Structure 1
Amino acid sequence: MPTSVTMPRLGESVTEGTVTRWLKQEGERVEVDEPLLEVSTDKVDTEIPSPAAGVLTRIVVAEDETAEVGSELAVIAGEGEDAPAASEPEPAAVEAEATPSAGKPVEEEAPAAPQAQAAPAAGAAEGTEVKLPALGESVTEGTVTRWLKAVGDSVEVDEPLVEVSTDKVDTEIPSPVAGTLLEIRVGEDETAEVGGVLAVVGSASAAPAAAPAPAPAPQQPKAEPKPEPKPEPKPEPKVEAPIIESKPAPAPAPTQPAAPAAETVKANGAGDAGYVTPLVRKLAAEKGVDLSALSGTGVGGRIRKQDVLDAAEKAAAAKAAPAPAAAPAAEAPATKAAAKPEPSPLRGRTEKLTRIRATIARRMVESLQVSAQLTTVVEVDVTKIATLRNKAKADFQAKHGVKLTFLPFFALATVEALQQHPVVNSSIDVEAGTVTYHGSEHLGIAVDAPKGLVVPVIKDAGDLNLAGLAKRIADVAERTRNNKIGPDELGGGTFTLTNTGSRGALFDTPIINQPQVGILGLGAVVKRPVIVNDAELGEIIVPRSMVYLALSYDHRIVDGADAARFLGTLKERLEGGHFEPDLGL
């Protein structure tokens, strides 16, 4: 009996997901629990395994299409059911033709016969609309930043068609079908709502058909001159498949666009590989990698993030290796060049504000407008913790598998102080006239991830000891940076820690993460001379490990005295340094 593959629930607040990539195609065999497709939500990207062994007979939801939780994604048939199920794509394709047929009856009738003749190969209908997929639960629209194809160009299935930017992500929308780009409905820098039609792509069989081509006069004359270049893109799928699995054929990428290579470098800095994503361009600028000198390992020779990282590592190794062989005369200029870093490529440039940065700006301003924020700073002597940490960090890492940093000590002291001062671990509802004092400490940890600042939440942090907090912090930080964090771990926090001292800052005035009423900024731990009272010598100057703790709080519910009491409890716990039982000492 055929098995239906449905969209699982990927988080408490997640109601839908977008299919980003099918790992298996119709007609291929799959095993139980073998990865079948990749799904993206507004909080997490994950793989969905096959619930049964058999043959993938029908894909219901195409790539970049969105499906609700519980809806059908595909159908898997058993061994004896391959043949009957294989005929199902035919009516599905006809149904797909009927959907975009409004206003295009002439285009729809022509491909009906070819599709009936080659139903398994023609997985798409003529005049297929390319729609803006749902790119996150709270994302309602997106802006077209760049069209990678022009009207009349031939496109292949899954070939990047257009780049779209939202307030959360910049991404590429691939073509759902193979054929010709017949119409662009949303121009560059224009905004479309989720589900809105961005373009129309005709089926591959429509290009040779001369009858329907003259019907839409404004568009088809551009489509007619392009049948000749069509054989050029066709070899690409043959090259793309091996490129994904290994790196045997980066050569075809530079051989195809011989003349336009210089233009591509000027336009986007990607060399012969063509357009690269903003994330890759930014990473290349940070690492000092010349994109025009790279051969991409992605589809069609596109440059990926890993290509940039590999090039940066090779460049670093090359700089270190040839140093002994260089002549003394050549060493001096090298030293001078190293002493003067190269200026940032952003100098002197004016560019459009990204939607992600614009959203962050709006939310930060809203936080300041919604709550009355005030920051109080205290100085804490953590010399005892520093001594204890140096003594125990080797054994701690061997026993628990994570490094013992200062952060777990601050986290443990924070949750203990929140238990004594619940007003700092509360939320206020002005409209209802209520305040909720939370019964658990759900601690948010600010993480500097590649896509921006993300705050995963450690639920019930008050129930964990020092080792438990250290492992949970290391775990959520690593998974956040690798985009493996679960959707339910990015919400529900009651208080936040931000370690601004990790970049050397003494302290700052952090902005509250709504609807919380407090956030604690941890400064850098710095050794400096401090006056202390000695029982025998009186006041003496000695080196101590000092840190500033900055508490931003909502003055609508937290008074200055409340903040001072909370920080006083925190200071007393940290300066006491009685963490030996937590470390097994």
Structure 2
Amino acid sequence: MAVSVTLPALGESVTEGTVTRWLKAEGERVEADEPLLEVSTDKVDTEIPAPSAGVLTSIKVAEDETVEVGAELAVIDDGGAAPAEAPAPAAEPAPAAQPEPAPAPAAEAPAPEPAPAAAAPAGGAEGTDVVLPALGESVTEGTVTRWLKEVGESVEADEPLLEVSTDKVDTEIPAPVAGTLLEILVGEDETAEVGAKLAVIGAAGAAPAAAPAEAPAAPAPAPEPVQEAPAPAPAPQAPSAPAPQAVTPEPVAPEPTPAAPAPAPAPAATIPAPAAPEAEGAYVTPLVRKLAAENNVDLSTVKGTGVGGRIRKQDVIAAAEAAKAAQAQAPAAAAPKAAPQEVSPLRGQTIKMPRMRKVIGDNMMKALHSQAQLTSVVEVDVTKVMRLRARAKEAFAQREGVKLSPMPFFVKAAVQALKAHPAINARINEDDNTITYFDVENVGIAVDAEKGLMTPVIKNAGDLNIAGLSKKTAELAGKVRSNKITPDEVSGATFTISNTGSRGALFDTIIVPPNQVAILGIGATVKRPVVIDHPELGETIAVRDMTYVALSYDHRLVDGADAARYLTAVKEILEAGEFEVDLGL
């Protein structure tokens, strides 16, 4: 019996997922619980295991396509099911051989051309509609932003065919079958409803039938005839299917090509043009090309790990990180030199704002407009903390197995102050006009990741010491950057801390996350001359480690005085630097 593989629930509030990679191909054998594919959601990236052992007979959702929870992803059957599908393509070659003996009919084929549209289906894959799939809950329509293939071009099954943008995602729609793109029904920048027909794909070998006499040239005409719809001829030429793949160009001459073999040489001459891009490797999506350009990665040097050797964004990221690691190992002499600032390819251009960027912008505006947000800042002398860290970091790393960064000290001070200032660790319940003062400190830590800023949550942070906070911070940050974070680990925060100084910023007016009333920003720690009151020297100028700590808050619940009192408490805890017990000093 066939077993359906569906997208499971991957966490609270997760309603859809994007297939990022298939680990098995159609026709392959899989074992129960063996990883079958990788799926990405707005919260986590994970693997979906096979629900049973058998043969993967059909893949329903292509890579980079988004579907709702519960949607069918693939079908697994016993070994007998796979062969059944394989013969289908083989059946086409047989008919091809029969017509071959009589080349004359090939010439006659043009006559039935008026009705080829109906005959096209005979090729099996001919006449297959490409429709706009469901791309998420509440998504009812999508806009075609770019066609990756033109009418007359050959396409492979699951090969990206066009790009579509919705109010939630920008994604690629793959070809449901292999063949030739006969007709495009929805143009670029046009909007269509879910389920609408976008294009029509015909049999892969339709055109070649016109020029069977010349084996070498036969493949070239293939695309053209299909465009004309000479369905009858396609079947015979099916055997040369492999050749068309190499000759995928749309440049192939139109109607004339099928009429006479002579034109065949012309297409041959045009073939080199398309071949050039192919020489770079498997198909590369616009997203991957853009990512490669931004990271100065040469795609010709990247080995793809996707289906058919396709280069995925993870491959580009890995190549970029490897290049950075190599640069880091370069001689220290190079350090003083400023990194060259390359001119961005976007300079001087006007482009359409990506749908995803617009959605993020709308959400940020909504957050600002739903709260009365403002920011207060204090300056903190963290010299004692930095000296304690310098003394303890080597022994700490050996004892705890993680590096001792300044971040756990700030988190420790922040959660201690939260216990004395409940208004900062609260939530406004707008539905019933009440306020919830939390009795637990679940702290979200902003982490800069490839996908963007994510905030994994340290649960019960108020009960952890410096070692516990260090381990949890390192663990969660590692999961975010390796795409191993789970939905539960990025939800439930009652307060958030963002280390805006990690990239050199002195301080930032950060935006308060939804369902919270405050967020703490930690600026860069720099050495500055400041006036201190020395017990023996009195007021004197000394070089100290200084930083700015900023609190953005919702003025509907937190007043400026409340914010100042909280920041002062954090400042006092940090400047006192009484963390010796936690550090084992």
TM-score by length of 1: 0.75
Could you tell me which residue of structure 1 aligns to residue 256 of structure 2?
none
Deviation for aligned residue 1:525: 0.6
Mean CA deviation greater in 313-322 or 435-444: 313-322
Q: 1:161 to 1:414 in 2, by over 3 A?
A: same
- 1:398-413 correspondence runs (5 A): 398-413=398-413
Residue 46 of structure 1 aligns to a residue whose secondary structure is strand
Residue 473 of structure 1 aligns to a residue whose secondary structure is helix
Q: Does 1:234 align with 2:270?
A: no
Q: 1:188 to 1:76 in 2, by over 3 A?
A: closer
Deviation for aligned residue 1:381: 1.1
- 1:202-213 correspondence runs (5 A): 202-204=202-204
Deviation for aligned residue 1:207: 6.4
The 2-side partners of 1:299 and 1:26 are apart by: 11
Q: 1:461 to 1:167 in 2, by over 3 A?
A: farther
Could you tell me which residue of structure 2 aligns to residue 465 of structure 1?
465
- 1:96-495 correspondence runs (5 A): 126-134=127-135, 142-166=142-166, 170-192=170-192, 195-204=195-204, 221=227, 231-234=242-245, 258-259=272-273, 276-289=284-297, 297=304, 304-305=312-313, 306-307=315-316, 310=319, 341-495=341-495
Q: For residue 384 of structure 1, what is the amino acid of its counterpart? A: K
**8 Å Cα contact 1:45/1:484 also seen in 2:** yes
Deviation for aligned residue 1:355: 1.8
Q: 1:491 to 1:44 in 2, by over 3 A?
A: same
Deviation for aligned residue 1:346: 2.9
The 1-side partners of 2:79 and 2:526 are apart by: 68
Could you tell me which residue of structure 1 aligns to residue 39 of structure 2?
39
Mean CA deviation greater in 270-279 or 504-513: 270-279
Residue 272 of structure 2 aligns to a residue whose secondary structure is coil
Greater radius of gyration (CA): 2
Q: For residue 525 of structure 2, what is the amino acid of its counterpart? A: V
Residue 539 of structure 1 aligns to a residue whose secondary structure is strand
Residue 130 of structure 2 aligns to a residue whose secondary structure is strand
**8 Å Cα contact 2:207/2:226 also seen in 1:** no
The 2-side partners of 1:112 and 1:23 are apart by: 32
**8 Å Cα contact 1:111/1:205 also seen in 2:** no
Q: Does 1:526 align with 2:558?
A: no
Q: 1:471 to 1:144 in 2, by over 3 A?
A: farther
Could you tell me which residue of structure 1 aligns to residue 549 of structure 2?
549
Counting matched residue pairs gives 518
The 2-side partners of 1:260 and 1:370 are apart by: 52
Q: 1:88 to 1:438 in 2, by over 3 A?
A: farther
**8 Å Cα contact 1:426/1:494 also seen in 2:** yes
Q: For residue 468 of structure 2, what is the amino acid of its counterpart? A: G
- 1:492-503 correspondence runs (5 A): 492-503=492-503
Q: 1:279 to 1:450 in 2, by over 3 A?
A: farther
Q: For residue 549 of structure 1, what is the amino acid of its counterpart? A: V
**8 Å Cα contact 2:291/2:316 also seen in 1:** no
The percent of aligned pairs where both chains have the same amino acid is: 61
Deviation for aligned residue 1:376: 0.5
Q: 1:175 to 1:472 in 2, by over 3 A?
A: farther
Residue 432 of structure 1 aligns to a residue whose secondary structure is coil
The 1-side partners of 2:565 and 2:363 are apart by: 29
Could you tell me which residue of structure 2 aligns to residue 328 of structure 1?
none
Q: 1:56 to 1:338 in 2, by over 3 A?
A: closer
Residue 363 of structure 1 aligns to a residue whose secondary structure is helix
Deviation for aligned residue 1:184: 2.6
Residue 402 of structure 2 aligns to a residue whose secondary structure is coil
Deviation for aligned residue 1:557: 0.7
Q: For residue 498 of structure 2, what is the amino acid of its counterpart? A: T
Cα-to-partner distance string for 1:548-584 (whole Å, 9 max, x where unaligned): 0011111011011111111111111111212222223
The 2-side partners of 1:517 and 1:336 are apart by: 43
The 1-side partners of 2:316 and 2:584 are apart by: 44
What stretches of structure 1 of length at least 5 have no aligned partner? 92-105, 116-123, 211-218, 238-254, 265-269, 325-333
Deviation for aligned residue 1:190: 3.3
Residue 33 of structure 1 aligns to a residue whose secondary structure is coil
**8 Å Cα contact 1:42/1:138 also seen in 2:** no
Cα-to-partner distance string for 1:468-517 (whole Å, 9 max, x where unaligned): 22222222223323333223333332222111111111112112122321
Deviation for aligned residue 1:394: 2.0
**8 Å Cα contact 1:280/1:304 also seen in 2:** yes
Could you tell me which residue of structure 1 aligns to residue 110 of structure 2?
none
Residue 163 of structure 2 aligns to a residue whose secondary structure is strand
Q: 1:187 to 1:493 in 2, by over 3 A?
A: farther
Residue 468 of structure 2 aligns to a residue whose secondary structure is helix
Q: For residue 245 of structure 2, what is the amino acid of its counterpart? A: K
Q: For residue 428 of structure 1, what is the amino acid of its counterpart? A: I
The 2-side partners of 1:477 and 1:319 are apart by: 21
**8 Å Cα contact 2:524/2:548 also seen in 1:** yes
Residue 273 of structure 2 aligns to a residue whose secondary structure is coil
Deviation for aligned residue 1:358: 1.6
Cα-to-partner distance string for 1:347-366 (whole Å, 9 max, x where unaligned): 32222222222222222222
**8 Å Cα contact 1:58/1:88 also seen in 2:** no
**8 Å Cα contact 2:22/2:307 also seen in 1:** no
**8 Å Cα contact 2:152/2:226 also seen in 1:** yes
Residue 488 of structure 1 aligns to a residue whose secondary structure is helix
**8 Å Cα contact 1:378/1:549 also seen in 2:** yes
Could you tell me which residue of structure 1 aligns to residue 13 of structure 2?
13
The 1-side partners of 2:559 and 2:8 are apart by: 45
Q: 1:140 to 1:480 in 2, by over 3 A?
A: farther
Residue 234 of structure 1 aligns to a residue whose secondary structure is helix
Deviation for aligned residue 1:22: 3.6
The 2-side partners of 1:261 and 1:363 are apart by: 44
**8 Å Cα contact 1:108/1:127 also seen in 2:** no
The 2-side partners of 1:34 and 1:3 are apart by: 15
Cα-to-partner distance string for 1:236-289 (whole Å, 9 max, x where unaligned): 99xxxxxxxxxxxxxxxxx99633589x7xxxxx99569744543444344444
Q: 1:337 to 1:546 in 2, by over 3 A?
A: closer
The 1-side partners of 2:336 and 2:441 are apart by: 52
Mean CA deviation greater in 545-554 or 451-460: 451-460
Deviation for aligned residue 1:11: 0.8
Q: For residue 419 of structure 1, what is the amino acid of its counterpart? A: K
Q: Does 1:83 align with 2:84?
A: no
Deviation for aligned residue 1:391: 1.4
The 2-side partners of 1:583 and 1:224 are apart by: 80
**8 Å Cα contact 2:116/2:230 also seen in 1:** no
Cα-to-partner distance string for 1:51-104 (whole Å, 9 max, x where unaligned): 433434565666666665456655545xxx54379769999xxxxxxxxxxxxx
